[in-house]
Structure 1
Amino acid sequence: MRIAFFIALMALTLTACASAPSRITDACAIFEQRDGLFNNWARDAKKAEREFGVPVPILMATIYVESGFKANARPPRTKLLGFIPWTRPSSAYGYAQALDGTWLSYKKDTGRWSASRSDFTDAVHFVGWYHNQSHVKNGIQLNDSYNLYLAYYSGQAGYERGQFSSGTRQAAQKSAGMAAKYEAQLRRCGY
């Protein structure tokens, strides 16, 4: 009995530390790669969609642009004197690249105190929650992937000001394009 528990615990630990899916431009392949005993990304994304009303392709496209589905993603460090690794430009971390303060607000609002930014289930739930907040606060339609991403990247107050860099607009276009691609793929494979 103890051995079975230990093996299950080790398997759970190893799957939590798994590397990013290898085919991240194909939503069906992502879900196939992460559909196992302890992981079911398709189920988790669908659950977030039902709770917050944000379509799965938009949730997945946001994570694609933010982290490339890397659990421990962080912004690159700045360089001191051009070559010494220094501080990071923000506290963004995990699949959703959530900032410390925003993650704390999410945990308070949802009561998910043990949520982890490096856990896909929690990250996709966070993205759904944040996009839903943008819908409530900024009036963005839940199927408007471009504007949801602008608000995600710039923050809801930044979105309201409407001043976006060309890089932010390009990232929003990338997210919207990937959401459209994911939508077609998911329709094809029946997820």
Structure 2
Amino acid sequence: MNKKFTKKQHIFVVVFITMVSTLFLGACTTTPPQNISNICDIFTEKRDWFETATDMREKWGVPIHVPMSIMYQESSFKAKARPPKDYFFFGLIPWGHVSSAYGYSQAKTPTWDDYKRETDNSWAERSDFSDAMDFMGWFISKTNKVNGVSKWNAELQYLNYHEGWGGYSRGSHNNKAWLKDVAKTVNARALRYATQLKTCEEELSKGWFWRLFS
């Protein structure tokens, strides 16, 4: 039976195709956001990242701008980021990487394994944004418990992230002026992200259907 689509049916088909395309493209692309200096632009471009970050906040009680500022510093939001390679024989022959850090969060293999074991998330991948964000929520929350650092203090959280809980408690960062400068940069970025997020979080929180007809 041949029937012309009604206006409502046409809208439904368009919306359905848009949803499927968005989900497909979101699953396939691992390219960093175009403007990583603005958290609103990041989440507007990658809506699923905002949902992931919100889930992390609800689960771990960690403010979104803190892990996002650390992730900016560690990987620039590159899914398969690695540290530089190490070289030997007068710097001519590459010999692996300087550490096992990998992915969005630049988590090292032993710490990542601890996370998977403690959270029962054995299938987690460091190149997956959702897993990386959950890892960072876990790490920041644990830093709060182990070393008493506020979940909102991006500067001290970053020092723990870089040096590890034991290294931070021993003060290993105190003789690294360059690292303390980087931590201050991370903190400044976190504050900017927090200010930016206040201007767009309400809009980002709206459902896709509401946004379609608003």
Structure 1 length normalisation: TM-score? 0.88
Mean Cα deviation higher: 11-20 or 149-158: 11-20
Moved more, 74-83 or 151-160: 74-83
Q: Select which of 84, 89, 93 maps to 1:84.
A: 93
Distance change in 2, residues 1:148/1:16 (3 Å):
farther
The corresponding residue for 1:169 is 180
Residue 42 of structure 2 corresponds to residue 34 of structure 1 = no
| Residue pair 2:62, 2:151 contacting (<8 A) in 1 also | yes
Q: Which residue of 2 aligns with 1:68?
A: 76
Query: For residues 26 and 114 of structure 1, what CA distance do their matches in structure 2 show?
Result: 31
CA pair 167-16 structure 1, distance change in 2 beyond 3 A: farther
Q: Give the unaligned 5+ runs of structure 1.
A: 1-7
Q: Which secondary structure state, in structure 2, belongs to the residue aligned with residue 78 of structure 1?
A: strand
Q: CA deviation at 1:168?
A: 1.7
**Equivalent in the alignment of 1:184:** 195
Question: Residue 154 of structure 1 aligns to a residue in which SS?
Answer: helix
Amino acid at match of 2:161: Y
Give me the whole-angstrom Cα distance separating, in 2, the residues matched to 1:174 and 1:41: 23
Output the aligned Cα RMSD: 1.7
Shift of 1:18: 2.2
- Show the counterpart of 2:51: 43
Task: Please identify the structure whose Cα radius of gyration is greater.
Answer: 2
1:16 and 1:119 in contact (8 A); partners too: no
Q: Alpha-carbon deviation of 1:17?
A: 4.2
**SS of alignment partner, residue 36 of structure 2:** coil
Task: Supply the distance in 2 between the matched residues of 1:32 and 1:15 (Cα, whole angstroms).
Answer: 16
How far did 1:171 drift? 1.9
Question: Displaced runs of 4+ in structure 1, greater than 4 A?
Answer: 11-14
Q: TM-score, normalised by structure 2?
A: 0.79
RCO higher in 1 or 2 (8 Å CA, sep ≥ 6)? 1
2:29 is equivalent to residue 21 of structure 1: no
Q: Which consecutive residues of structure 2, in runs of 5 or more, have no partner in the other structure?
A: 1-19, 205-214
* 1:142 to partner: Cα distance: 1.1
**Alignment match, 1:52:** 60
Match of 2:134 in 1: 125
CA distance in 2, matches of 1:16, 1:146: 33
Q: What residue in structure 1 maps to residue 11 of structure 2?
A: none
Q: 1:130 to 1:64 in 2, by over 3 A?
A: same
One-letter amino acid matched to 1:97: Q
